[in-house]
Amino acid sequence: MLRDRRLSGEDLSRIDERIRSDWSVEDIDFEEAIAYHESLPASKEFASVLEDADRPLLQPRAGVPRLDDQIALLGHLEDAGRADLLPTTIDSYTRDNEYEKAQQGLEEARESGEDTLNGFPAVNHGVEGCRELIEALDTPIEVRHGTPDARLLAAVTFAGGFQSFEGGPVSYNIPYTKGHDLAETIEHWQYVDRLAGAYTERGVTINREPFGPLTGTLVPPAIAIAVGLVEGMLAATQGVRSITLGYGQVGNLVQDIAALRALKSLGEEYLPNEATVTTVFHEWMGGFPPDEARANGVIALGAATAAIAEPDKVITKSPQEFGGVPTKEANAAGLRTTKQLIDMMREQDINLDGVEREREFIEESTRSLMDTILQLGDEDVARGVVEAFDTGKIDVPFAPSDSAESAVLPARDDDGRVRILQFGNLALDPDLKDVHTDRLDRRARAENRDRSFQMVADDVDAISEGRLIGRPGGEGA
Amino acid sequence: MLRDRRLSGEDLSRIDERIRSDWSVEDIDFEEAIAYHESLPASKEFASVLEDADRPLLQPRAGVPRLDDQIALLGHLEDAGRADLLPTTIDSYTRDNEYEKAQQGLEEARESGEDTLNGFPAVNHGVEGCRELIEALDTPIEVRHGTPDARLLAAVTFAGGFQSFEGGPVSYNIPYTKGHDLAETIEHWQYVDRLAGAYTERGVTINREPFGPLTGTLVPPAIAIAVGLVEGMLAATQGVRSITLGYGQVGNLVQDIAALRALKSLGEEYLPNEATVTTVFHEWMGGFPPDEARANGVIALGAATAAIAEPDKVITKSPQEFGGVPTKEANAAGLRTTKQLIDMMREQDINLDGVEREREFIEESTRSLMDTILQLGDEDVARGVVEAFDTGKIDVPFAPSDSAESAVLPARDDDGRVRILQFGNLALDPDLKDVHTDRLDRRARAENRDRSFQMVADDVDAISEGRLIGRPGGEGA
Amino acid sequence: MEVLSAMSATVILGVIGSDAHAVGITILEQALSTAGFEVVNLGVQSSQQEFISAAQAHEGDAVLVSSLYGHAEQDCRGFHEAIEEADIDPITYIGGNLAVGQDDFEETRDCFREMGFDRVFDSETKPTEAIAALKADMNIAESEAERARLTT
Amino acid sequence: MEVLSAMSATVILGVIGSDAHAVGITILEQALSTAGFEVVNLGVQSSQQEFISAAQAHEGDAVLVSSLYGHAEQDCRGFHEAIEEADIDPITYIGGNLAVGQDDFEETRDCFREMGFDRVFDSETKPTEAIAALKADMNIAESEAERARLTT
Ligand code: B12
Ligand code: B12
C-alpha cells in the first residue's frame, strides 16, 4: 500500500532492475557515477550555485534531439543569452516511455537534419551522451520534462551528470497526461526522489524542482503551492535536501509577489529543516500573444514581478512562445530582456500595497487545502493527496488527467487576480470561498453580466489578445 | 524689452511678414486655414482626442524626408503599431532654419531614394504637402522638432492642418543648440504660442507640448518640471488652452510615478484655469543598450511605469533606439510592447510605498526653483527664466547651450533615484540640497568610493550596459 | 446535402497522440455545445482508433482533431486511410500548433490538406471560426453575421 | 615619431555640424583630461573651421570629431582637404552614430576612412578605447593592460 516512507536499498535495486528492462541501457555503476559527479567543477554543482546566488538566476527552456545541436543550443543560451542555469528539455516520446519511438525520431533527426522530436531523448543518448553534454558547457544543467514515470530518465541522467531534475508525481501527472494513476505515479517518483536522496547522502546533492505552474492557465496560487508542498514533502522523505518550489506567473503583480512570498514561507514551514528550500518563478505559462513585440510585453511583466519578489530562479519565455519551439536567438532574447529588467529594478526598493493581505489569504487557503490532504491521509501525505484528488477536494483547472476532477474553474476578479469561479469539491474553508465568490460577483457586476464559463474563456484568451482581464467587447474594450 | 505679455495682432502680422522673408512660402490665409481645420473630422482634433481619452494614448517618433514615405511610415505606425496619436519629426536643417539645405536634402532624397535628411522638412513641403499628410491618415498628428526659432515651421504646419506642436523656448533651446540667446528664443516662441492662441480663439484648439525630457540624461525631476511650468505659463499668456506637460523616464519606478503626479498637480496649480493640462511621459530618453532584446526591457520598464502612473500620453521608443533611426517595423514593435504591458497592468490597482514622499520632495524642489524664477523676474516669468539661466540658478545637466551654465551634475542614489551631485548655482533651498547630498553620500559609502564625476559617467552608461545604477565593477557587478 | 440543424449534428473532439494540451479543447467543447452541437470530447492523448470508434459509435458528423505539441504530422499518418477502412465519412478538421518550430503556416496547411483533412486551422483560430466552418460544411443555416466572419 | 607624455598632448574635441548631442563629449572630455591630455572642448555644433582654427591655435596633436545625429558624412565633406590647406597634420578620429538609419558599421568605417579619418569609432566606444588609441597613435607610453585592451 502506498505510504509516504523512505524506500529501502532493496526497493531501490529491485526497481532499478525492473525499469532497465523497459529499454536496454548500459549498466549504471552508482559508485562510478558518484566519482563522476565528484570530478565535476564546483561551478557545475546545481544546488550550490542556486542556493548561494545573491540575485535571481535565469534559466531558459530548451531541448533538441541531437547531442551536437543541444550543445550548440545551450552554448548559445550561455553566451548570447547569459543564462545562469541551463535546461535540457526532454522529448514527448521519452515522456511516454516510448523509447523505441524516440530512437526512431532521433535517427530520423540524425539522417534528415530535421528535428522530428520536440526535445532531447536523454535515455537514448545514454549516460555517455549526457556526460558529453554536461562537459561541453560551463553552467549547471537541469533535466526538464513532464514524464509521469521518470524512473529510467532519472537513473540515466543522474548517472550522466545532471544535478537537477524537474517534476513530481502530481505536477508531472495531472497537467501532463490522461491515463496515469496518481498512486502509481507517486510510487514511481518515490524511486526518483530516493535515487536523488542516495546521491545526496554521498555528497552529490541532486536538486529537485516540483513543476509549479501545473496547467499554466489561471491556476489559483493556493492550489499550485499546495501541490508543490506535497511534492516537496514526498521528496524530503526520500532524502532530497535541495528543493526548489515553483510558481507560474498569473499576471497580477500583487498576487504574484504575494504568492512567491507565501511559497517561500510555507515551504520553510512544511518541509523539514534538513531540506534547503529555494523558489522558482515561471514567466507566464499560458497562451501567449501571436506577436513577438507583444510577447515581449508579457515577458517583461514577468521579469518586473521577479525583480520585486526576488525568487531564487526565474524560468524565462521567448517572444516566439506562441508560434512553436523558438529559435535559439529568440530564446536568448527572452533571457536578455528579462535580465535587463531585473537588473534595472532589483536594486530599487519597491513595496506594493496589499501584498501582505494577499499573502495571508494565499497562506490561509493553502493551509486549508493542506489540512484536508493530511487529514484524508491520516497524516500520510502520499495517501492524503491521492484521496484528495480522487474526491476532487484538491483539484487543478484544465487538468487533462483522469486522476483529477478538473471541476475547478478559475476567473479573474476586477483587479485581475485569479479567483475561483467553480469550486467543484475543492476543500476550501467556506469563508475563503466567499472571498472568491464575492470578488467575482463584483467583477460580474462591473461588466454587467453573469458569472459564467464565458468569463473563463475570455480570461484564458485575454493575455494573448493583449489584456489581462477578459472583459466583454474583446480587444478594443 | 522681453515681457511675458500677449503679443498684439500687429505684432503677429509684423513677425509673420518677417519670417516669410527667410524662405519663400505661399501666402497663408488665416481664414482659409481656419476653414480647413473646421473641415477636418473630430477624430483629427488633437486636443480633444487627447483630453477625452480614458487611458494613456501612445505616440511614437517618426519622420522621413519624402511625403509619400512619411505617409507610408505613419500609416504603418497606425495599423501595425496601433498608435493612438502620430508624430511628424522634422529634420535637423529645418531646425536650424536652413531651408535651402533642407531643400537640397529633400531633392537628393527624391532623386536617390535614400534618406539624406533625418526628418520631414515640413516648411519645404509647404501647407499643401502638410495637408496631404493630414488627410492621408486617420489619427491626429503632432509636429515634433527641436527648433529654437520655429516661427515659420509653426505658421506652415498650423495652416497645414497640424493641431499639436512640441517644444518651447527653453526646452528647444537649452538641450538642442549652442548659440541661441534665450531671451530671443522666448520672443520667437511667443509668436508660436500667440499663433496657436489665435487659432484657439477661433475654435481650432492647437495643443502645445513643452519638451519635458530636456537632455534626456539623468535630468532631476524638479528641473524638468520647472521648465515645463515656465513654458506652459508663457504659452497660456499667449492664449494657448491645451497644454501637455512632459517628463522623461529616469528609470526609478517610485521617482517616475511621483514626478508624473507632481507634474500634473503643479501644472494645475501654476497654469491658469482656462488651460487644460494633460501630461506626457517619454520612455527612457538617455543612452539605450546596443541590443534590441535588452532595449525591450528598457521600453517595458517605461511602459510599466506609465501603466501605474497613467499619464495622458506616452511617447514610445523602439528597440533600435541605440543603432540609429529605427525601421518602421521596429518602431511599431516598440508601440505594441508598450501597449501590451499597459493594457495588462492598467486595470490593476498598484500603489507603491514612498511615492507620496517623493512627490512632496519633487513638488517642494520645483516650488523652490519657481519661486526663484518669479522673484528674479519680478513676477514676470519670461524675464525671470532668462535671468535664472543666466546666473545658473536654474540649470540643466549636460546642456550644450551657451545660455545655460551646465554646471549641475546628476547621479543616482543607492535606490537609483536621480539626485544632484554638483549644484553649481542652482537655486534650491539648502535643506533640499542636503537631501541630495545625503543620499549620494550614502551611495558613495555603499560603493566605498568618493562622490565624483566618475559616478556620473558610470550612471550615464549604466542603462545601456544593463543596469540602473553605475556601480563600480561594471557590467558584471 | 440536406440542411441540418446544429442540434442534430454530432462532433467528435479530442487531442491526438500523446499530446496533453487540454485548454484549447475545453474552450472548444464549451463553445460548440453552446452553439447547439452534440459534442463528444475524448480529451487529450487520444489515439486514431479512439477517434474512429467514437465517430462510429456516436454517428459523428465531424471529427475535430486538436494538436498543440508539435507531433501532429506523425500522429495523423494513416488516419484518413483508417477512417476510410472503417467505412465512415465524417468531415475532418485539424487545428492547433501543427509543426515543430517556427514554420510557415501555408506549408503546414497544404501538408495536412494532402493527408485528407477538410480544413486546417492555426492556433489563432477562435471557436467562432470553427463553428462557422462546421455550419458551412454541414450546410446548417447560419446568420449573415457568421457567414461574413467565415469568409474573411 | 618621438615618445610623448600624455601631459604634453593636446586634443581638440567637438561635435560637428548642427548636431547638439553633448553627453558623449562631456564624458570624453572628462576621461581624456583625467588621462592627462590637454583637452580643448569646442562643444556641440562646431564647424569644420572651428576645429581647424582650434587645432592651429592650440597646436592640437589630435582632432576628435563626434557626430551622433546622422549627418556626419555631409558635415565632414571636405574636412581633410581643408586641414591640408591649413597646413596642419593632426591625427583625426571620428566617432559616434555616423549614419542615418540601421547601417552596417563596416561600410560606415570604410566611408570615413576614405574621407581621411585615421580612426573611426562606433557608438559603443568607451573612453578608454579612445585613450588607448590616442596613446598608440601618438606613441605615448602606456601600460600593458591598456595595450591589451586596444588590440582586442
Ligand atoms: C499551456 C501550455 C502548456 C501546458 C498545458 C497544460 C494542459 N494540460 O493543457 C503545459 C505546461 C503542461 C505544457 C506542456 C507542454 N508543452 Co505547451 N504550451 C502551452 C501554451 C503556453 C498555451 C497553450 C494553450 O493552452 N493555449 C490557450 C488555448 C485556448 O489555445 P489553443 O490551445 O491554441 O487552442 C485554441 C486554438 O489553437 C484552436 N484549436 C486548437 N485545436 C483545434 C482543433 C480544431 C479542429 C480547431 C478548429 C481549432 C483548434 O482553438 C482553441 C481555442 O481558441 C502553448 C504556447 C502558446 N500557444 O502560447 C505551449 C506549446 C503549445 N507547448 C509546447 C510544447 C513543446 C510543450 C511540451 C512538449 C513542452 C515541454 N517542453 O514541456 C509539453 C507537452 C506535454 C504533452 N504531453 O503534451 C509548444 C509546441 C511546439 C510546437 N508545436 O512546435 C508550444 C507552442 C510552446 C512553445 N513555443 O514551445 N504546455
Ligand atoms: C540623449 C539623446 C538625445 C538628446 C541629446 C541631449 C544633448 N544635448 O546631449 C536629445 C533628446 C536632445 C536628442 C535630440 C536629437 N536626437 Co538624439 N539621441 C539621444 C540618445 C538617446 C543618447 C545619446 C547619448 O547621450 N548617449 C550617451 C553617450 C555617453 O554616448 P554617445 O553620445 O554615444 O558617446 C559615446 C560614444 O559614442 C563615443 N563617441 C562619441 N563621439 C565620439 C568621437 C570620437 C572621436 C570617439 C573616439 C568616440 C566617440 O564615446 C562616447 C562616450 O562613451 C541617442 C540614442 C542612443 N545612443 O541610445 C539618440 C540619437 C543619437 N539621436 C538621434 C536623433 C535623430 C536626434 C534628433 C535629430 C532627433 C529628433 N528627431 O529630435 C535630435 C537632434 C538634435 C540635434 N540638433 O542634434 C538618433 C541619431 C540617428 C542616426 N544617427 O541615425 C539617435 C541614434 C536616436 C535614434 N535611434 O533615432 N537626442
Residue B327 in contact with partner chain D when CB distance is under 8 A: yes
The more confident residue out of A23 and D123 is: D123
- Which SS3 state, helix, strand or coil, does residue A342 take? helix
Q: C109 CA to middle of ligand 1, Å?
A: 18
Contact C19 A325 (CB under 8 A): no
Nearest one of A286, A288, A292 to A319, comparing CA atoms: A292
Maximum distance among all alpha carbons in chain C?
A: 41
Which of the following is catalytic: B61, B95, B131, B144?
B95
Tell me the residue length of chain C.
152
Inter-CA distances, A146 with A153, A171, A211, B50, B267, Å: 11, 8, 9, 50, 56
* Structure confidence at residue D105 (pLDDT): 87
CA–CA separation, B385 vs B389, rounded Å? 6
Residue A291: nearest ligand to its CA?
A: 1
Per-residue pLDDT of chain A (477 residues; tens, 9 = 90+): 899 999 999 999 899 888 888 787 788 899 999 999 999 999 999 999 999 999 999 999 999 999 999 999 999 999 999 999 999 999 988 999 999 999 999 998 899 888 778 899 999 999 999 999 999 999 999 999 999 999 999 999 999 999 999 999 999 999 999 999 999 999 999 999 999 999 999 999 999 999 999 999 999 999 999 999 999 999 999 999 999 999 999 999 999 999 999 999 999 999 999 999 999 999 999 999 999 999 999 999 999 999 999 999 999 999 999 988 899 999 999 999 999 999 999 999 999 999 999 999 999 999 999 999 999 999 999 999 999 999 999 999 999 999 999 999 999 999 999 999 999 999 999 999 999 999 999 999 999 999 999 999 999 999 999 999 999 975 433
CB A57 within 8 A of CB A85: yes
Local structure of residue A464 (DSSP, 8 states)? G
Pocket test for ligand 1, best of C16, C68, C71, C79 (most atoms within 8 A of CB): C68
Which set of grid coordinates corresponds to residue B423? 549644484
Rounded-to-integer distance, Cα B238 and Cα B198, Å: 8
Distance CA B244, CA B228 (A): 9
Q: Hey, where are the domains in chain B?
A: 9-345
Closest CA relative to residue B222, chosen from B347, B68, B360, B425: B360
Strand order in the sheet with D62-67: D38-41, D10-15, D62-67, D91-96, D119-121
Fold for domain A9-345? TIM Barrel (3.20.20)
| Minimum CA–CA partner of C47 in chain A | A178
3-state secondary structure of B334: helix
d(CA B172, CA B136) in angstroms, rounded, equals 29
Residue A213 contacts residue A396 (beta carbons within 8 Å): no
What is the arrangement of strands in the sheet containing A242-248, beginning at the earlier edge strand? A57-59, A313-315, A276-282, A242-248, A207-209, A164-166, A141-144, A86-89
Bridge partners (DSSP) listed for residue A247: A281
Grid coordinates representing A96 are: 511516454
Q: Which residue from D minimizes the CA distance to B455? A: D27
From ligand 1's centre to the CA of A461, what distance in Å? 13
CATH code, residues C2-151: 3.40.50.280
Which residue, judged by its Cα, is nearest atom 33 of ligand 2? D123
- Rg, chain A, Cα only: 21
- Name the amino acid, one letter, at B57: L
pLDDT on residue A1: 84
Which of B292, C124, B342, C122 has its CA nearest to residue A298?
B342
Q: How confident is the model at residue C140 (pLDDT cuts 50, 70, 90)?
A: confident
Q: Which ligand is nearest to the CA of C75?
A: 1
Mutate to test the interface with B, among D13, D15, D16, D18 (most CBs of B within 10 A): D18
Write phi, then psi, for A19 (nearest 5 degrees): -65, -30
Buried/exposed code over C52-67 (b: 16+ C-beta within 10 A; e: otherwise): bebbeeeebbbbbbbb
CB B128 within 8 A of CB B117: no
Give the CA diameter of chain B.
Answer: 67
Considering Cα of A129, then A135, then A137, then A140, what sign does the dihedral take?
A: positive
Contact A391, A408 (CB under 8 A): no
Are the CB atoms for A276 and A315 separated by under 8 Å?
A: no
C77–A contact, CB cutoff 8 A: no
Size of the B and D interface in Cβ pairs below 8 Å:
74
Question: Within a 13 Å sphere around the CA of A115, how many CA atoms are in the beta-carbon half?
Answer: 26
CB contact under 8 A, C22 and A453: no
Query: What integer pLDDT is reported at residue D10 of this predicted model?
Result: 96
The cell numbers describing B46, all together, are: 488633437
Smallest CA-to-CA distance from A182 within A350, A329, A373 is with A373
Q: What is the mean pLDDT of chain D?
A: 89
Neighbours of chain B (3+ CB pairs under 8 A): A, D
- Say if residues A86 and A136 touch (Cβ distance below 8 Å): no
Q: Where are the beta strands (DSSP E) in A366-435?
A: 409-412, 418-422
Neighbours of B89 (CB within 10 A): 21
Could you tell me where the DSSP H helices lie in D60-126? 72-76, 79-85, 105-115
Determine the residue type at B332. Answer: A
Q: Which ligand 1 atom sits closest to the C-alpha of C129?
A: 47
In the predicted model, is pLDDT for residue D151 greater than 50? no
CA-closest candidate to residue B199, choices B435, B454, B12, B331: B12
B39-89, pLDDT tens digit by residue?
A: 999 999 999 999 999 999 999 999 999 999 999 999 999 999 999 999 999
Task: Say if residue D74's pLDDT is above 80.
Answer: yes
Is B394 within 8 Å of B226 (Cβ atoms)?
A: yes
- Exposed/middle/buried for C133, CB within 10 Å: 0-12, 13-18, 19+? buried
C29 chain-A contacts, CB cut-off 8 A: none
Average pLDDT, rounded, for chain B = 96
For the Cβ of A92 lying below 6 angstroms from any atom of ligand 1, the answer is yes
Exposure of C109 in the CB half-sphere (CA atoms within 13 A):
9
- φ, ψ of residue B169 to 5 degrees: the values are -65, -30
* C–D touching, 3+ CB–CB pairs within 8 Å: no
State residue D101's pLDDT score.
61
pTM > 0.90: yes
Chains A and D physically touch (3 or more Cβ atom pairs below 8 Å)? no
Q: Does an H or E element contain B322, and which?
A: none
What is the structure's pLDDT at D142? Answer: 55
Contact of B384 with B376, CB cutoff 8 Å: yes
Helices (H), A88-212: 92-95, 99-112, 122-136, 151-159, 182-201
The three grid cell numbers given for residue A300, joined into one nine-digit string: 517583461
**DSSP one-letter code for D16:** B
Q: In chain D, how long is the greatest CA-to-CA distance?
A: 41
Q: What is the DSSP letter of B464?
A: G
Q: CA-CA distance, B367 to B270, in Å (whole number)?
A: 10
Give the pLDDT band (50/70/90) at residue D140. confident
ipTM above 0.85, yes or no: yes
Rounded distance from Cα A335 to ligand 1 centre (Å):
21
Pick B351's closest partner by Cβ from A296, A301, A353: A353
Dig out the grid coordinates for B373 from the structure. 524664477
C-alpha A320 – ligand 1 centre gap (Å)? 13
Cβ-Cβ contacts under 8 Å for B383 (sequence gap 6 or more): B1, B2, B3, B4, B376, B377
